[in-house]
Amino acid sequence: MTATIKDIAKRLGISVTAVSKALNDKDDISDQLKIRVKKVAEELDYSANTIAKRLVTNKSNTLGVFMFSRVSQKLDSFVFQFIAGILEEANKNDYDILLFSTDSDLLNEKSYIKLCKERRVEGAVLFGVRLDDPHIDELKSSPLPISIIDTDIEGKNIYYVSTDNRTGVNKAMDYLWRLGHRRIAMINGHEKAQVSKFRYNAFRQYLRERDSFESGLVFPGDFSQESGYYWGREILKMEQRPTAVFAASDLMALGAIQAFKEAGLHLPHDMSIIGFDNLSSSEFVEPGLTTVSQDGIKMGKEAAKLLLDRIAGRGSEQKVVLQPELIIRDSCQSINQERG
């Protein structure tokens, strides 16, 4: 049979309360007694009944993480970075995570909040929330702390973590502009993603300030490699092609690169291209993709930390915006260099 706290207390001739305090490293128990208790616990092969403890304290020590089917169907390294960051911060604070993989049918029956309550999570991180999500109003009034990555929703218990998208786009555009590019196309993400709006607005403003914006050079992708490939092929059909393409995600940039190379273009000699995210695969494509880097692990850590601070009653900000970095590789070339 599994040893219990009572067995330890009986062996040492002390109270169950004293054993419990010693195992939990409480200050009102001497170090000598803690050592004796832990030694006997090891001899008896005692392990704490975490489930029972959580029932007594009415705490699950668990955070929910919502992965939407539209995201999880094509997991990339950036999504794994989010999860790794959340898990690292949670584990550091003696919390577990519960991964929810949801689809539209399930959410027609149960909201995020109801799912959280059913599984007794103390807070949740959401990634991939669309602006047309039917549960946004409920999220705004959530009784549980909720961290949302990349979608800024106002609410008393809502926390927001993202990258400074405007700065990221400006860094990419500054780089292309310095290389002499003036006709720059954009392959954007889907319109119901808030980051698509942020990145498009920054792109448009940058070029408008320089009298170079052309609405016909903006193409509506959906962040997938397939959409980048499709719009890459459409760009190839243009009578007057752009000299550079800014893609709002690395996956779309990789798709466009595939389309360009299949058509016989030599990159970056015939077309410059720049992405956003800095996926691990972006370094190994040919040519290596110049991109705006987001720190997915840190974003995940910050999202979890905001929840844990709130749960512990510690004061914290409600919004954390991280600074991006431009990673220059080989996919862009000066327009002034000789073109064949």
Tokens (6 digits) for 155 = 């609410």
- What one-character DSSP code corresponds to residue 282? G
Is residue 154 within 8 A of residue 141, CB to CB? The reply is: no
* Percent of the chain predicted with pLDDT > 70: 90
* Percent of the chain predicted with pLDDT > 90: 67
Question: What pLDDT, on the 0 to 100 scale, is given for residue 107?
Answer: 57
Does residue 239 surpass a pLDDT of 50?
Answer: yes
- Angstrom distances, CA of residue 15 to CA of 6, 18, 21, 58: 8, 5, 10, 24
Half-sphere exposure of 159 (CA within 13 A, CB side): 27
Mean pLDDT of 216-245: 96
- If we measure between CA atoms, which residue out of 80, 258, 248 comes closest to residue 172? 248
What pLDDT digit, counting tens, does each position of 31-59 carry? 999 999 999 988 888 876 554 554 454 57
What pLDDT digit, counting tens, does each position of 282-319 carry? 999 999 999 999 999 999 999 999 999 999 888 778 99
Does residue 105 surpass a pLDDT of 80?
Answer: no
Region of poorest pLDDT, from 23-27, 31-35, 83-87, 245-249: 23-27
Q: With bands split at pLDDT 50, 70 and 90, how would you rate the model's confidence at 195?
A: very high
More confident residue, 229 or 104: 229
Is residue 145 within 8 A of residue 179, CB to CB? The reply is: no
Does residue 75 surpass a pLDDT of 70?
Answer: no
More confident residue, 303 or 25: 303
Question: What pLDDT, on the 0 to 100 scale, is given for residue 55?
Answer: 45
Mean pLDDT, rounded, of the chain: 89
Does residue 72 surpass a pLDDT of 60?
Answer: no
Q: With bands split at pLDDT 50, 70 and 90, how would you rate the model's confidence at 73?
A: very low
CATH numbers and ranges of domains, the chain? 5-48 (1.10.260), 62-162+296-322 (3.40.50.2300), 165-295 (3.40.50.2300)
- For the chain, the maximum distance between any two Cα atoms, rounded to a whole number of angstroms, is 90
Question: What pLDDT, on the 0 to 100 scale, is given for residue 271?
Answer: 97
Question: What pLDDT, on the 0 to 100 scale, is given for residue 44?
Answer: 87
Chain centroid offset of residue 1 CA: 44
Pairing of strands 272-277, 290-293: parallel
